Amino acid sequence: MRALIAGLLAFLLILSGVARLLRPSRLPPGVTPLVWASSKNPYRYGQIDYFNATHPGLRLRLDGGNADFQRIIVQTCSGVGPDVFDVLKGSYLQAYVEAGVAWDLTAAAAADGIAADRDAWPAVHNEITYEGRQYGYPAGVGCFLILYNKNVFDRRGVPYPTDGMTWEEFLQRLTRVSGVLPDGSRIWGTNAVDYAGTAPAAFFWKAVFYSRHGEFFSPDGTRPTIDTPDLRVALQLHQDAIVRYRVLPRTVDVGAGTGQGGWGNPATTQFAEGHYATIVSGKFALASLRGFVEMQKRDLARWEADPARQRTEPRPEVLRLGVARLPHASGRPFACVALSQTVVINPASPHRAQALAFLRFLASDAYAQRVESYGIPGNPRLARTDYPVTDPELAEHEITRCEVESLRDGYQTRKSPFLLDFDVDRALDAQVARLEADPSLDCGRLLAEAQGELEAMLRLNLSRDPRLAAEYHRRIGAGALTSNP
């Protein structure tokens, strides 16, 4: 037994020695470490290397697996959070501000060339500010577009989607490209699943809702406006796309699927493989599609060099991407919601002042050049459509044009201090999941339930926070608390 314990101790000592050897080297004196909790976008590493090379006093490091909402909250509240982190939705920013883990940059931003009203796209103003205060700066912005696989449309002889279509026209066209192939595999018309939160969530209904310039709150933010004609139409069209047109899979069908692995939305790679004729996505999809197209090109080159394979296998296809702006609501002008990957500074970070240099970098031309191959920079003055492209099949300049035009018409939904947009998302996602699980349910009834649930939640929030209750009274007048909602 003694020998065993001694052996174990010796083994642990050896492991400690190995761990010590593998430990990252200490930073030189005077260099400040910064940790950025973000996604493992393959372009991120080049951006970080460039930042470190041009900022010798700072050493930025990517924390790629810790950008989840819950992890950021828990880590930051317990004092071990990252210095800067990404926020992918305005509703999350609101939750971070409410949780006290987002630093108010308003004063610093104005003096630093990263001001929301001057140095960022107007359409994402509400994605980087909350209640009039600025909390971040975008690492990238965008709008949802229709990306389509030209190969799928060409095979069926169906015209490509175009700018200016209505939703009904778009869905009608998709019915001609979707269906079951002779080999039993299925091609869906479109895919609209979001992975920005903790769960895959269908957002086809949201794209329709935003195209009607929909709002989740009353203008003064005191009431959720869920049970409305705009949302009813949006949910009905979502249901129709699944049941009547049969061009949209349910969320769980997509959530259970896989892509090629690695970074990115699995639905994007399934689209590239031809399982979907179109995908509701943005220019950011290029970050994963580029790698996929290069893989397809290599496969094609191998096929062309192998006569035996040519006799037994059809010619492998390389994705040819097309793009159109989102359809619009019938009889209404084009509208869409603008998106931002907002970088926020942790107020508890001992390096928060130095982290401002990183946000300044995000607003610079050098960063814009590094982001333009897959995204749109946060500074509108730096968005270009004349940069050299690597893969002509990916229609990069066309996508950029669509993004820029959509961003000009884009808007941000209202936020309310009394109810997190985050909770609205959750309540509506749950009802959409119910609708997808049982299409016989009535959309109006589901929305009425969500309305009731959110009103109850708002009342609960007011009862738990006297500060909120006072503000609520101020906005609607004393005594109205019981009647509205």
Partner 1 sequence: MKPRRLPTALLFLAPNLLGFLVFTLVPVGLSLAGSFTNWSLRPAVPLHFAGWDNYARLFQDRDFYFYLYNTFYLMLALPFSIAGALLLAVLLHGRFSFARPRRAPVLAAASAAIALGSAAVLALTGSPNLAYVVGALGLIAALGIRFGPVAYRTVFYLPYFTAGAATIILWSQLYNPNFGLINQGLRHLAAFGGWHVAGPGWLTSTRSLLGFLPWPAHFNNGGFGLGAREAIMLMGVWGAVGGNNMILFLAGLANVPPELHEAAEIDGAGAWARFRHVTWPQLAPTTFFVVVISVIGGLQGGFEQARLMTFGGPAGATTTLSYYIYQQGFERLDLGYGSAIAWVLFVLVFGLTLLQWRHGARDGTD
Measured in degrees and rounded to the nearest 5, phi and psi for residue 15 equal: -60, -40
Per the CB < 8 A criterion, the answer to whether 131 and 390 are in contact is: no
Residue closer to partner 1 by CB (options 141, 419) is 419
Beta-bridge partner residues of 118: none
Residue closer to partner 1 by CB (options 115, 201) is 201
Q: At closest approach, how far in Å is the CB of 174 from partner 1?
A: 18
Residue closer to partner 1 by CB (options 125, 434) is 434
Residue closer to partner 1 by CB (options 65, 229) is 65
Per the CB < 8 A criterion, the answer to whether 34 and 84 are in contact is: yes
Per the CB < 8 A criterion, the answer to whether 177 and 152 are in contact is: yes
Residue closer to partner 1 by CB (options 253, 409) is 253
Residue closer to partner 1 by CB (options 69, 170) is 69
Binding site for partner 1 (CB under 8 A): 69-70, 73-74, 77, 95, 98-100, 186, 198-200, 250-253, 255-258, 423, 426, 430, 433-434, 436-438, 441, 449, 460, 464-467
Residue closer to partner 1 by CB (options 253, 398) is 253
Q: At closest approach, how far in Å is the CB of 310 from partner 1?
A: 19
Q: At closest approach, how far in Å is the CB of 449 from partner 1?
A: 7
Q: At closest approach, how far in Å is the CB of 438 from partner 1?
A: 5
Beta-bridge partner residues of 346: none
Q: At closest approach, how far in Å is the CB of 184 from partner 1?
A: 9
Q: Reply yes or no: is the peptide bond before residue 485 cis, omega within 30 of 0.
A: yes
Go through the chain and tell me how many residues it has: 485
Per the CB < 8 A criterion, the answer to whether 318 and 391 are in contact is: no
**Cα–Cα distance list, 84 to 35, 81, 343, 362 (Å):** 6, 9, 7, 12
Q: At closest approach, how far in Å is the CB of 134 from partner 1?
A: 18
Distance CA 423, CA 113 (A): 33
Residue closer to partner 1 by CB (options 20, 474) is 474
Q: At closest approach, how far in Å is the CB of 89 from partner 1?
A: 14
Q: At closest approach, how far in Å is the CB of 475 from partner 1?
A: 17
Q: Which residues of 104-141 are buried (b: 16+ CB within 10 A; e: fewer)?
A: ebeebbeebebbbeebbbebbbbbbbbeeebbbbbbbb
Q: Is 471 exposed, middle or buried (0-12, 13-18, 19+ CB in 10 A)?
A: middle
Residue closer to partner 1 by CB (options 60, 447) is 447
Q: Is 433 exposed, middle or buried (0-12, 13-18, 19+ CB in 10 A)?
A: middle
Distance CA 393, CA 458 (A): 49
Residue closer to partner 1 by CB (options 270, 288) is 270
Per the CB < 8 A criterion, the answer to whether 205 and 184 are in contact is: no
3-state secondary structure of 184: coil
Both ends of the chain: CA-CA distance in Å?
72
Residue 38 per-residue DSSP state:
-
Q: At closest approach, how far in Å is the CB of 301 from partner 1?
A: 25
Q: At closest approach, how far in Å is the CB of 261 from partner 1?
A: 12
